[in-house]
Amino acid sequence: MPQQPDEPVSHTEAAHAKINLYLHVTGKRPDGYHLLDSLVVFAGAADQLTYVPSATPLSLELTGPFGRKLAAEATDDNLVIRAARLLTESGDTPLTGRLVLEKNLPVASGIGGGSADAAATLRLVDRVLALGTPEQRLLSIAEQLGADVPVCLVQKPILMRGIGEQLDPAPTLPACGIVLVNCGEAVSTPAIFKARNAAFSGDAILPTGWPSATAMTDDLQRLSNDLEPPACALCPSISIVLDAIGALPGCLLSRMSGSGATCFGLFDTAESAEAAGSLLRQEQQNDWWIWAGPVL
């Protein structure tokens, strides 16, 4: 439908699912935050954030399949509102208008969620208001909002270290497909970090690139998500999901992302991932959220 001349223009930004292909916990800071070494990529699955500029006070509306889970949190504490305010607080006039978050990704699920939404807010508001905020300032605001927000701001394959704020170039990645599965149980990130009691891992040694998904997954098999054992202990459904993904035809690697509970399977192509995702949808008797498609 063509836009009416007096209709406010809206603008949309995708907040893609963040996937930790491996995640080593390498130490702990005195403030309790953990040092990480992780190769992060993004899947096609995404929340969609829309900003409709207007003179009304800033508001946030939650829609989409997982919008209701967050509805109670659509307050000033919501990361989206906080991100918008932090970005514009040095301006002469407070930010006004309507933000609409279509929540397509399960909440508290290890694939970015609130962090990806906050990062999308920074990109969107900066673009729509033509603020031209320098990248370093955007990254510093992102860091204030949460450990995973800087990586979600960049939203491309990256090596994440420190507590999430040190971002280094990733090896050259092959095209590949991914199946994401969430069992529907929200997992608390602090609880998973607290339950982790294994020795710290070292930083992974990675090649400059991989020629194929098979070569990449051969290397990834030797690495781990150090949060997977404590997450499986606290949420046994994760082990069931991992087994189901691993049994899918063509699955090269099955692993949990972040602090869970979402798990992923890597496939040669987006098409083989989609075929495996369809099969899993037919087979599974549980109320699992299943998404299949490309790694970006």
Contact between 244 and 285 under an 8 Å Cβ cutoff? The reply is no
Contact between 196 and 27 under an 8 Å Cβ cutoff? The reply is no
| 190 is a site residue for ligand C5P (CB under 6 A) | yes
Between CA 142 and CA 84, with CA 87 as vertex, the angle to 5 degrees is 90
Q: Which two tokens stand for residue 103?
A: 């929540």
Among 19, 17, 18, 21, residue whose Cα is nearest residue 206 = 21
132 annotated to a ligand binding site: no
Write each residue from 254 to 283 as x if it is in contact with ligand C5P (CB under 6 A), else as -, in one continuous string. Answer: ------------------------------
Given the complex with ligand C5P, which of 28 and 98 has the nearer CB atom? 28
Q: What is the largest CA-CA distance in the chain?
A: 62
The residue within the footprint of ligand C5P, chosen from 11, 34, 69, 161 (CB under 6 A), is 34
53 annotated to a ligand binding site: no
CA 235/CA 265 separation, integer angstroms? 19
Given the complex with ligand C5P, which of 34 and 85 has the nearer CB atom? 34
| 30 is a site residue for ligand C5P (CB under 6 A) | no
Q: Based on the residue annotation, tell me whether 156 is a catalytic residue of this protein.
A: no
CB burial of residue 116 (10 Å; 0-12, 13-18, 19+):
buried
CA 9/CA 51 separation, integer angstroms? 9
Measured from the CB of residue 259, what is the shortest distance to ligand C5P in angstroms? Answer: 7
The residue within the footprint of ligand C5P, chosen from 148, 226, 228, 268 (CB under 6 A), is 148
109 annotated to a ligand binding site: yes
Q: Which two tokens stand for residue 129?
A: 């208001």
Of the residues 148, 219, 226, 268, which is catalytic?
148
- Sign of the alpha-carbon dihedral angle for 50, 55, 58, 63: negative
The residue within the footprint of ligand C5P, chosen from 189, 214, 239, 284 (CB under 6 A), is 189
Span from 38-46, 119-127, 129-137, 187-195 in contact with ligand C5P (CB under 6 A): 187-195
Q: How far is CA 36 from CA 64, 159, 203, 240, in A?
A: 32, 10, 8, 26
Write each residue from 192 to 211 as x if it is in contact with ligand C5P (CB under 6 A), else as -, in one continuous string. Answer: -x------------------
Given the complex with ligand C5P, which of 33 and 289 has the nearer CB atom? 33
With a CB cutoff of 8 Å and minimum separation 6, the contacts of 77 are none
Q: Based on the residue annotation, tell me whether 47 is a catalytic residue of this protein.
A: no
Span from 90-98, 141-149, 165-173, 268-276 in contact with ligand C5P (CB under 6 A): 141-149
Write each residue from 74 to 103 as x if it is in contact with ligand C5P (CB under 6 A), else as -, in one continuous string. Answer: ------------------------------
113 annotated to a ligand binding site: yes
Span from 2-10, 52-60, 84-92, 146-154 in contact with ligand C5P (CB under 6 A): 146-154
| 26 is a site residue for ligand C5P (CB under 6 A) | no
257 annotated to a ligand binding site: no
Q: How far is CA 50 from CA 85, 104, 141, in A?
A: 16, 13, 20
| 112 is a site residue for ligand C5P (CB under 6 A) | no
Q: Give the residue numbers annotated as catalytic, written as ranges.
A: 18, 148
| Residues of this chain that bind ligand C5P (CB under 6 A) | 33-34, 36, 146-148, 163-164, 189-190, 193
Residues in the annotated binding site for ATP: 106-116
